[in-house]
Amino acid sequence: MKKILTLVIVLMLLVSLTACSNAPKSNVDEQGRTVYKVGICNYVDDASLNQIVQNIENQLAAIGAEKNVVFDISYDNCYADASVLNQIIANFIADKVDLMVGVATPVAMAMQTATEENGIPVVFSAVSDPLSAGLLADLNAPGANLTGTSDYLDTNAVMNLIFAANPDTKNIALLYDVGQDSSATPIAAAKAYLDEKGIAYKEYTGTNVDEVILAAQAIVADGADAVFTPTDNTIMTAELSIYEMLANAGIPHYTGANSFALNGAFLGYGVDYANLGAETANMVASVLLDGKKPAELAVMTFDNGTATVNTETCAALGYDFNTISSAFAPFCTKVESIVTAEEFDK
């Protein structure tokens, strides 16, 4: 009987040791620092969203150094592919991340659905209209497992700039992707603004770079006086392929982010995406380090008061930068200049 009891004890010890060897790694590193696993998913590869990711990572690194903690970041890009997006999120869940960051509306929506059962907190970034997208019912009291930063666009402000530069504008092209949730509200606002002023407009759409190029060609053929695009990631991805065509035709492209101007558009108006990325990281830290629940953190919106003018495109259009700056000054907080490049300087 004693032999049997001894054998049982030995077997129990072996099982215990095996279980310990397969246990999850501690969330404390060799230096005694707490480690937080953060999964970041980007929607597409473009200057706007890449700048956000870069500044999220930079700010989390700075916070980690200050607070003596580690943010173990897993980053991926779904390149606007829904099946890839869902797999990335599944991987984050399998890796037991402490928090997910969704960059752009489609990613935030997918993360919201995927975390309803497991309760993993989500901080989104660059969601232009969280209410219309159905992510939240109240920006000030999200009441869910997600919150974040919004690059909401003041469409009327952009429209004002168009007529400040050229009061005789008669025909405006609205260039966007009908599948982008971020474009729905500002395009509707642009139509309402133009209807009130009695200005003609026509919609041109595309869902990929090739279609956007065809749309731009149609805009040139139709002789539009100006083009308006909101914070639309599809058009942003195609901007480097169309800006010269529009500029050579004498058609200024007014857009909803400074990154468009970086990629050649005449003007980008709206959020400073570097600051938006940093503030997104601060919200991540509030959840992970301060114990805040996403439901307690109001969605952060930003002053859309900066007009960024591409000086090279400005000259190609025959405009004088100083004259344009003076014309824009009454309608924005400040006017900045930029030259064409693929990405922002790190």
Structural domain boundaries in the chain: 35-151+273-296, 155-270+305-338
Cα(311)–Cα(336) distance, integer angstroms: 10
Q: Quick one: pLDDT at residue 302?
A: 83
Whole-angstrom distance, CA of residue 78 vs CA of residue 18: 38
- Token pair, residue 173, equals 């092209």
Closest-CA residue to 272 (of 332, 323, 326): 332
Distance CA 273, CA 13 (A): 55
Dump the DSSP string for 140-161. S---SSEEEB-----HHHHHHH
Q: CB under 8 Å to 42, separation ≥6 — which residues?
A: 49, 50, 53, 75, 76, 77, 78, 103, 104, 107
Reading across the β-sheet that carries 70-77, which strands appear in turn? 70-77, 35-42, 99-103, 122-125, 146-148
Q: Encode the chain (346 residues) as per-residue pLDDT tens digits.
A: 444 444 333 334 444 433 333 333 348 988 999 999 999 999 999 888 999 999 999 999 999 999 999 999 999 999 999 999 999 999 999 999 999 999 999 999 999 999 999 999 999 999 989 998 889 888 888 878 999 999 999 999 999 999 999 999 999 999 999 998 889 999 999 999 999 999 999 999 999 999 999 999 999 999 999 999 999 999 999 999 999 999 999 999 999 999 999 999 999 998 888 999 999 999 999 999 999 999 999 999 987 689 999 999 999 999 999 999 999 999 998 999 999 999 887 6
Architecture of domain 35-151+273-296: 3-Layer(aba) Sandwich (3.40)
Q: DSSP code of 298?
A: P
Q: Does 155-270+305-338 match 35-151+273-296 at the fold level?
A: yes
For position 346, what pLDDT does the model report? 61
> Looking at the domain 155-270+305-338, which fold is it?
Rossmann fold (3.40.50)
pLDDT tens, position by position, 258-283 = 999 999 999 999 888 899 999 999 99
Residues 72-108 pLDDT 10s: 999 999 999 999 999 999 999 999 999 999 999 999 9
Residue 304: the pLDDT is 67
Question: Which residues contact residue 159 at a Cβ distance below 8 angstroms, ignoring those fewer than 6 apart?
Answer: 190, 193, 194, 228
Is the Cα dihedral 16, 18, 23, 28 positive or negative? positive
Q: Which of 306, 308, 153, 165 is nearest to 225 (CA)?
A: 165
Helix (H, G, I), strand (E, B) or coil at 168: coil
pTM metric for this prediction:
0.81
